[in-house]
Amino acid sequence: MINPDVDDAAVTDICFELQGTLLPRDHSYPLFLELSRLLPWLADEELAAVHPIQAAETGKDDLLILNRRTKLVIRIPVERETDLAKLTDQTIEVGGFKLTIGKGKAKPLTRHTPLYAHCVATGSADEEGFTRDLIHILDEMHINCRFICGRQQTFTTAEGVVHGYSLMLYDLPVEQSILVQQRGMGGNRKIGCGIFIPHKSTAALV
């Protein structure tokens, strides 16, 4: 049964081409600062989220390397799509490395289960507290599903270190998957937390 209160098309991902060489592994907060410089409305847009940039390992713990498939992905309400066009052809600097943003292309959210988030941050640093927080969040959203907590993740911000865990939601009713993707879970969505994407299976959780 489709939830009549959820408009599937209300939020979308915009995927931008991205040119550069290296990127700090802990890049989410400086990336947000640079994007906010170009998009002053971003910080206050409740449903906006900035995906962590997916790049390859360099063999050094603190650096990642970009390739031709690397994208900058921003999740926004559809009415903000034209506002993001300002990013095209802009150059930003993240951790001392320059990145040039190319053209953006919309990628609509789809009904899918299971869902995976690289990091969900609830305010609890330990897994026991995180699990309690997550159960409370699911109850508040009226969602009944199972979950698997993965590795602890950390992000450095001006206020300190944000702790979270990678998370898989499974046995999630497909009609609720759009709601989870649009609203996310926990805080710090502008620095890559609480952003869910479709996942093929529960076989491996990174």
Each residue's pLDDT tens digit, 137-159: 999 999 999 999 999 999 999 99
| Average pLDDT score over residue span 107-111 | 95
Task: State both tokens at 19.
Answer: 């040119």
Q: Give me the percent of the chain exceeding a pLDDT of 90.
A: 87
Cα separation values, 77 from 13, 48, 145, Å: 9, 7, 26
Radius of gyration of the chain (CA): 17
Q: Give the confidence band of 2 by pLDDT, cuts at 50, 70, 90.
A: very low
For the beta carbon of residue 177, count every other beta carbon within 10 angstroms: 24
Q: Which of 193, 153, 174, 199 is nearest to 32 (CA)?
A: 193
Comparing 88 with 60, which gets the higher pLDDT? Answer: 88
Domain residue limits, the chain:
11-108, 115-198
The pLDDT value given to residue 206: 46
Per-residue pLDDT band for 57 (boundaries 50, 70, 90) equals: confident
Q: Is the pLDDT score of 3 beyond 80?
A: no
Q: What is the mean pLDDT of residues 13-25?
A: 96
Residues 6+ apart with CB under 8 A from 200: none
Stretch 184-200: mean pLDDT: 95
Residue 190 reports pLDDT greater than 70: yes
- Share above pLDDT 70 across residues of the chain, in percent, rounded to a whole number: 95
Residue count of the chain, please give it. 206
90 strand-pairing partners:
none
Question: CATH fold of 11-108, please?
Answer: Alpha-Beta Plaits (3.30.70)
Q: Any idea what DSSP says for residue 140?
A: H
Region 48-52: mean pLDDT is 96
Mean pLDDT of the chain: 93
Write down the pLDDT at residue 6: 80
Mean of pLDDT values over 74-88: 96
CB atoms within 10 A of CB 143: 16
Prediction pTM value: 0.92
- Assess contact for 22 and 53: CB atoms under 8 A: no
What's the mean pLDDT in 43-54? 95
